[in-house]
Structure 1
């Protein structure tokens, strides 16, 4: 969808009950655009997710694209029961073809059994700390992504930290989960890298 515009407020909430399974996707990319006039404040996009005991959630949306001149703050908060399972993919595309990125901030917070599992934030574009406009920090790459997999089975045997190709790395978390972080020149190659990482972690074909 061609939204949000500067100042818009979007929110999505989803609850997965005990023993239920849910896969959430989207029909197309979300394009953050500048508003018609001087931006008074950035747009926000808040996602709230909750998964009950023995429940499973696959959160696999299409990529948000940060168009030049836009300003977007995304937050994703997830509450997991102790036996819940989660596959969550986040991607950020920094600018449309041939243009610089807008200002993009994304924060991911996941709590399992009431305790923090991961809390991280990334920021790119004008005004981002340390000049993170994609050219220097990302080595010229314009697509960034994270894949988080939380599974109780990792309590017994968790994948070890390692590189997954030249531009992706797998990191085990202090809990039954792993985080894959990847960069790529474009959205297609980023999706390929994350799909291959998901296949590597789960030993099943990536969708």
Structure 2
């Protein structure tokens, strides 16, 4: 199934929301939108595309109502989630964790453009497996620019078949957090200042 969500925040107005497929969005506070599953997703074969636009002078917080559980589908193990973020105001994006269950293989990618007046807090949390599961795979990629200036190219893999896969000590959970233009925000990991401004922290371990 293909699911599409558009959230557009404008100053002094409620966010504009459009949704199709198994993923919906609900306005829960004047500047806060929660993502809600209208059906089980992502299953193997599913494609989620979430586009967020924040105009200059606007503030938007994006959350999710519950954790996202990626499951195998009847024909394929692979599912995809793509975020496209265009930020000229302030965006705080912090959904609940993604749980990669059973032997599913989930691929997430985020493309972020920050304008000259934009600011961002972006947090992603991932756990491979439910209790006693360790066969899932997750990959996450972040491509971030400030206008036309590259800010960050970041990629992480976890789970079975990843570059860190090791029966003795492979990490099974990760937290990545990007702040811009703040370069000293408190995070779960150690903040790494970026050359073009802002900071990135990445934490890995056994469980969230």
Unaligned runs of at least 5 residues, structure 2? 1-36
User: What is the CA RMSD across the aligned residues, in angstroms?
Assistant: 2.3
TM-score relative to the length of structure 2: 0.74
Query: Given the alignment of the two structures, is residue 95 of structure 1 paired with residue 121 of structure 2, yes or no?
Result: no
For residue 169 of structure 1, report the CA deviation from its aligned partner.
Answer: 1.8
Query: Given the alignment of the two structures, is residue 47 of structure 1 paired with residue 77 of structure 2, yes or no?
Result: no
Mapped to 2, the partners of 1:113 and 1:140 lie a distance apart of 37
Other structure's SS at 2:204 match: strand
Unaligned runs of at least 5 residues, structure 1? 188-207
Q: Which residue of 1 aligns with 2:173?
A: 143
For residue 58 of structure 1, report the CA deviation from its aligned partner.
Answer: 0.2
Mapped to 2, the partners of 1:72 and 1:127 lie a distance apart of 12
Query: Given the alignment of the two structures, is residue 168 of structure 1 paired with residue 204 of structure 2, yes or no?
Result: no
Query: Given the alignment of the two structures, is residue 67 of structure 1 paired with residue 97 of structure 2, yes or no?
Result: no
Mapped to 1, the partners of 2:61 and 2:135 lie a distance apart of 30
Mapped to 1, the partners of 2:166 and 2:192 lie a distance apart of 22
Deviations 1:51-72 (A, max 9, x none): 11xx100001111111121011
Q: Which residue of 2 aligns with 1:180?
A: 201
For residue 126 of structure 1, report the CA deviation from its aligned partner.
Answer: 3.0
Query: Given the alignment of the two structures, is residue 133 of structure 1 paired with residue 165 of structure 2, yes or no?
Result: yes
TM-score relative to the length of structure 1: 0.74
Aligned length: 170
Contact conserved, 2:158 with 2:173, CA < 8 A, in 1? no
Mapped to 2, the partners of 1:8 and 1:171 lie a distance apart of 34
Mapped to 2, the partners of 1:176 and 1:82 lie a distance apart of 12
Which consecutive aligned stretches of 4+ in structure 1 deviate over 6 angstroms post-superposition?
none
